[in-house]
């Protein structure tokens, strides 16, 4: 099973049609922006878990998660600080695949994505299902750099990038919204770039 999302086979739209409101093209660079110190995670002890409102809580080691069907994303990413990066390529596993093992309970409506650093971000469950989200450990065919969330990060490319938790450790499913780090500090609860949902009240 492989999920490919992006613009293959379609005519490339004009740049202004690809840019969400208030964004600018960052080109080939990729800024590093995060509040917490950059951790050094050993893949021999790394883990990822799905917990909370699920029938079967599950935890994968680095080797185990790599044995799951590979998924890829090719498209664009958008940061709330107004930059966008076009034509990125990530590889990893679809969140859909992970949830197939955990089997969310009917009452689950939201997830809290949490990092090995303690950072959290809140998302509606529908924003990480249906081929919309990944746990990614490759960028442009190479291992994801630590500064960009390696060894693995969450990738939710249709939302502002603060939702794509770096150094991700797992997902906790809930029956309600529980704000994460930036949501409690004034950022929008959802963060849709095309609706310019940067801050509470947008």
**Assessment of whether the complete model's pTM goes beyond 0.75:** yes
Q: What is the pLDDT of residue 32?
A: 81
Render pLDDT for 101-148 as a digit per residue (tens, 0 to 9). Answer: 999 999 999 999 999 999 999 999 999 999 999 999 999 999 999 999
Q: Give the pLDDT band of residue 13 (cuts 50, 70, 90).
A: low
pLDDT at 8 over 80: no
Q: What is the pLDDT of residue 14?
A: 53
Render pLDDT for 73-91 as a digit per residue (tens, 0 to 9). Answer: 999 999 999 999 999 999 9
Assess whether the previous peptide bond of 151 is cis (omega < 30° from 0): yes
CATH topology of domain 45-195: Sulfite Oxidase; Chain A, domain 2 (3.90.420)
Q: What is the pLDDT of residue 31?
A: 83
Q: What is the pLDDT of residue 22?
A: 95
Mean pLDDT score across all residues of the chain:
90
pLDDT at 21 over 60: yes
Render pLDDT for 22-75 as a digit per residue (tens, 0 to 9). Answer: 999 999 888 887 656 688 899 999 999 999 999 999 999 999 999 999 999 999
> How far is residue 173's CA from residue 130's CA, in Å, rounded to a whole number?
16
Report, as an integer, the average pLDDT of 161-186: 96
Q: What is the pLDDT of residue 35?
A: 56
């Amino acid at each position: 099973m492989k999920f490919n999302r992006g613009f293959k086979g379609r005519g490339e739209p004009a740049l202004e049609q690809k840019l969400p409101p208030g964004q600018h093209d960052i080109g080939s660079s990729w800024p590093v922006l995060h509040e917490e110190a950059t951790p050094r995670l050993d893949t021999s002890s790394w883990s990822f878990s799905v917990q909370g409102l699920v029938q079967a809580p599950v935890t994968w080691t680095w080797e185990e998660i790599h044995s799951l069907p590979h998924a890829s994303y090719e498209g664009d990413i958008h940061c709330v600080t107004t930059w966008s990066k076009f034509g990125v390529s990530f590889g990893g596993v679809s969140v859909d695949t992970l949830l197939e093992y955990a089997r969310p309970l009917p009452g689950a409506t939201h997830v809290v994505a949490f990092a090995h650093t303690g950072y959290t971000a809140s998302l509606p469950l529908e924003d990480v299902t249906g081929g919309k989200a990944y746990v990614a450990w490759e960028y442009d065919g190479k291992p994801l750099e630590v500064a960009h969330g390696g060894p693995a990060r969450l990738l939710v490319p249709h939302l502002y990038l603060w939702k794509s938790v770096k150094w991700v450790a797992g997902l906790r499913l809930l029956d309600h919204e529980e704000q994460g780090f930036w949501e409690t500090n004034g950022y929008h609860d959802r963060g849709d770039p095309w609706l310019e949902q940067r801050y509470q009240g947008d």
